[in-house]
Amino acid sequence: MRSIQESLITRLKVPTKIGNKIKVKKCNNCGNIRNPPRTYCNRCQGTDFTEVTFGPKGEIITYSSSYKRKATDKQRFFGQVRLFSDNGKDSMGLGGTFDVESIDELDIGQKVELVADDRYNIFKIVRE
Ligand SMILES: [Zn+2]
């Protein structure tokens, strides 16, 4: 119970996702990146932060698909993506779903972009 109350108090009342970008806090003391952002750093307890914007560019770290029970079931593809900061100096992992028709379109290291969506983290493949 105590941890639930604490997390509500330290949660920042700001939207993290703005369009196809994500704004998080980076600790100025130890460099820890916290998403969703809180009022303190969970690595060094520091409270001095810089705001860093990530996305939309990223690359696939890992991926998987949902189980298809029937041939008519719609299969979903999800995984982790490494999103890069605006200046390219930082990266962070973000989970979400991939906007693809087949798992064959996915590969580790594949370039993706975060899609602007208020509710879900959706990634689309970037063709070069
Ligand atoms: Zn820190």
| Ligand 1 midpoint to CA 74 (Å) | 42
Domain that holds residue 45: 11-125
Residues 40-90 have pLDDT tens digits of: 999 999 999 999 999 999 999 999 999 888 888 888 999 999 999 988 889
Lookup: tokens for 7 = 């997390």
- Provide the 3-class DSSP secondary structure of residue 43: coil
The whole-angstrom separation of Cα 99 and Cα 68 is: 17
| Ligand 1 midpoint to CA 102 (Å) | 40
Is 1 within the bounds of a domain? no
Is 85 within the bounds of a domain? yes
Is 89 within the bounds of a domain? yes
Q: What is the DSSP string of 61-85?
A: EEEEE---SSTTSPP-EEEEEEEEE
- As to burial, measured by CB atoms within 10 angstroms (0-12 exposed, 13-18 middle, 19+ buried), residue 125 is middle
CATH number, position 39: 2.40.50.840
Mean pLDDT of the chain: 88
The whole-angstrom separation of Cα 94 and Cα 79 is: 8
| Ligand 1 midpoint to CA 47 (Å) | 8
